[in-house]
Structure 1
Amino acid sequence: MNGDTLYSIGELARRTGLTVKTIRFYSDRGIVAPTDRSPAGYRLYDTDAVARLDLVRTLRELGLDLPTIRKVVDREVSLPEVAAAHAEALTVQIRVLRLRRAVLTAVAERGSTPEETELMHRLAQLSEAERRRLTGDFLDAVFGGPDAAPVFAGVMRSMTPELPDNPEPEQVQAWVELAEMSLDPDFRSVLRRLAEYQETEQAVIETTGPRRDIAAVVRDQAGPALAAGIDPASPQADPVVAAFTAHYAHLLARPDDVELRRRLAARLESVNDPRRERYLRLLAVINGWPAPESLAPELDWSVQALRVRTQQ
């Protein structure tokens, strides 16, 4: 083959794998112009046309539009510049598709109503700034806003979702569900009560010295009893209950009486609200953290044990 070789449109189609109709279309658009014409007036193309058509086919398969392709093959713009711009556009498209997939998956799994579907779609489309505002409003409602106690600064950071720039579908689904939960006034009230318990306890701790978190103490005391099959209402449970109520009494600098045990039961019920555990699990998915340990069995056992012993 030499540089003077010319191909008819049919020969060019066989060499490139494109149809005659497609090559004619590109030729009419000036993307691959004919080099000459035969005596009968048919278009003829040189060897450069083969390379141009190969490039055009590749760029089309990558999703570039014809005006852009023409600029590339005519060297009006460089291929790297076009590739970078197109890659950025595809990144946006991929993010949008992931969001749509996440919403549709959630709708299918949860059997959502049209109203719920619309809300999920809106939540999935929020910008980073809008997500931060929604989260900030939720945490302010729970912890007291600008007047929040200093002890809550770390807790608030640990409860803040950080959806990555290129989230996985399960992270988007988790964000949508978490955002819905954060809009629930009843859930906010549950966490607000828990924050008030913690604030009261912290005020005492500041004067008496640090103490272990009561939920951790209950877990350590109730866990073995639960594993041993001890009924929370049985006399065998009395020493276990006495151990963690004594710790709570010491934490609050109060006597271990019926009122303290009722307060502790209410405190543990707030911690054990299934929505709180669900929030933390969703948060772990969004932020890429390990799944949190569930305290539900130990807390259930402890609340039952306290309720039995405070009934009058």
Structure 2
Amino acid sequence: MNATTLYSIGELSRRTGLSVRTIRFYSDSGVAAPTTRSPAGHRLYDLDALLRLELLRTLRELGIDLATIQRVMDRELSIAEVAAAYTDAIDVQIRTLRLRRSVLQVVAERGSDPEETTLMHRLTQLSDEERRRLIDDFVDGTFGTVDADPAAVAMVRAATPRLPDDPSSEQVAAWVELAALVGDDGFRVRMRRATLHRTAGHPPAIESEAGEELMAFTRQQVADAMESGIDPLTDRAAIVVDDLVRRFGKVLARTPDKEFRDWLAARFEEAHDPAVDRYWRLVWIVNGWQVVPGLIPAYSWLIQALRV
């Protein structure tokens, strides 16, 4: 093979793996024009045309469009420049496909109806900037008053939920629930009240009344039950809660009956808003943070168990 060798269109087809019809199309497009024609009028191609067709086939198989390939052939763009641009584009496509897969997994697992499916898709299609704006609006709407505690605002902003590029189905479901939560005006009021109370450094009344030793014991017992997967509405939970009710009754000089259980539940509800606990739990899930046992929203579990 040398630079003067000429190939028929059939020979090019055998060497490149492209069909005769495809080579003819590329020839007519000017991407790989024939070098000359035979006396019978048949197209003939030189080595340069063969190499151009082999490169063209490679680039097409990599997903590069014909117009861009033409610019490469004309030396307007280098292959490296095209590869860099297409790598970025493919990264975007991969992230999009992964997100779609996660949404579809959630829909399949939950048996979502059309409305929920549409909402889920719309919320996950938001750009990173749009998601940040959604949370910023929530923080501004919750703490944007002149008497807002800077420490409270800083705490919430520091834990801004950020949906990753390749979210799990659990993270997608958590993000959708979180987006609905932050858009609720009633929740904003509850979030502001709970957060400002916490940053003020004043312990809830039930914690002051019961004392640190009993509260630490309670948090540990409930955390252990939750880690063991014990449902708060089951008999297994009742064993844990009955013991706690007796301990609180002894410390507070109260009879551990149903009235006292209801009273305890109400006091714990005052101490920790379940909706606010849920917000922080969703933030941990969306951000993929490791759940710290000491920060598990134990009061929500305990309140449910006390109400049984």
Whether the TM-score (by the shorter chain) exceeds 0.5 is yes
Q: 1:173 to 1:295 in 2, by over 3 A?
A: closer
2:275 counterpart of 1:267: no
Structure 1 residues 11 and 302: CA distance shift in structure 2, 3 A: closer
**Correspondence for 1:128:** 128
Matched with 1:239 is: 247
For this pair of structures, how many residues does the alignment match? Answer: 287
Amino-acid identity (%)? 48
Change (3 A) 1:304 1:15: closer
Quick one: distance in 2 between partners of 1:204 and 1:240? 15
Cα deviation, 1:59-94, whole Å, max 9, x if unaligned, reads 111211111111101212211222222222223333
Structure 1 residue 224: Cα displacement: 8.1
| TM-score using structure 1 length | 0.72
Q: CA RMSD in A?
A: 4.1
Cα gap change, 1:153 to 1:184, in 2 (>3 Å): closer
Summarize deviations over 1:239-264 as a string: whole Å, max 9, x none.
35556x79xxxxxxxxxx99995763
Whole-angstrom CA distance in 2 between matches of 1:214 and 1:136:
38
TM (norm. structure 2) is 0.73
Kindly tell me: are residues 237 and 212 of structure 1, through their superposed partners in 2, closer, same or farther at Cα, counting changes over 3 Å? closer
Match of 1:284 in 2: 284
- The 5 Å alignment of 1:5-24 reads 5-24=5-24
Pick which of 281-290 and 185-194 moved more: 185-194
Distance of 2:129 and 2:213 partners within structure 1: 34
Tell me the SS of whatever aligns to 2:105: helix
Matched residue, 1:38: 38
Number of the residue aligned with 1:168: 167
| 1:199–1:296 distance in 2 versus 1, CA, 3 Å | closer
Contact 2:16 2:54 in 1 (8 A): yes
Tell whether the 8 Å contact from 1:56 to 1:69 is kept in structure 2 after alignment. yes
Does the CA contact (< 8 Å) of 1:268 and 1:303 recur in 2?
Answer: no
Partner Cα separation in structure 1 for residue 220 and residue 57 of structure 2:
66
* 1:145-160 aligned within 5 A: 147-160=147-160
Q: Is the 8 A contact 2:143 2:192 kept in 1?
A: yes
- Whether contact under 8 Å (2:265, 2:303) holds in the other structure is no
Query: What are structure 1's unaligned runs of at least 5 residues?
Result: 247-256
Is residue 27–residue 34 contact of structure 1 (8 Å, CA) maintained in 2?
yes
Structure-2 residue corresponding to 1:52: 52
Following the alignment from structure 1 to structure 2, what is the Cα–Cα distance between the partners of residues 38 and 176?
A: 67
Per-residue CA deviations over 1:119-176 (Å, capped at 9, x if unaligned) read 2232122233321221123334555655332442453135311234x33354455433
Q: Is contact 2:269–2:303 with CA below 8 Å preserved after alignment? A: no
> CA–CA distance in 1 between the matches of 2:238 and 2:112?
40
Matches within 5 A, 1:1-312: 1-142=1-142, 147-164=147-164, 166-170=165-169, 171-185=171-185, 187-188=187-188, 190-195=190-195, 197-198=197-198, 202=202, 218-220=218-220, 230=239, 232-233=241-242, 237-240=245-248, 264-268=267-271, 270=273, 273=274, 276=276, 278-293=278-293, 295=296, 300-301=301-302
Q: 1:231 to 1:215 in 2, by over 3 A?
A: closer
Structure 1 match to 2:233: none
What SS does the corresponding residue of 2:149 show, helix, strand or coil? coil
Pair 1:22–1:149, CA change in 2 (3 A):
same
Secondary structure at the residue paired with 1:75?
Answer: coil
CA distance in 2, matches of 1:222, 1:111: 31
Any gaps of 5 or more consecutive residues in structure 2? 231-235, 254-259
Q: Secondary structure at the match of 2:64?
A: coil
Residue 110 to residue 151, structure 1, CA distance change in 2 (3 Å): same
Q: Any conservation in 2 of the 1:124–1:172 contact (CA below 8 Å)? A: yes
Contact (CA 8 Å) 1:143, 1:195: kept in 2 or not?
no
- Segment drifting more, 52-61 vs 106-115: 106-115
Q: Give the Cα separation in 1 of the matches to 2:212 and 2:158.
A: 19
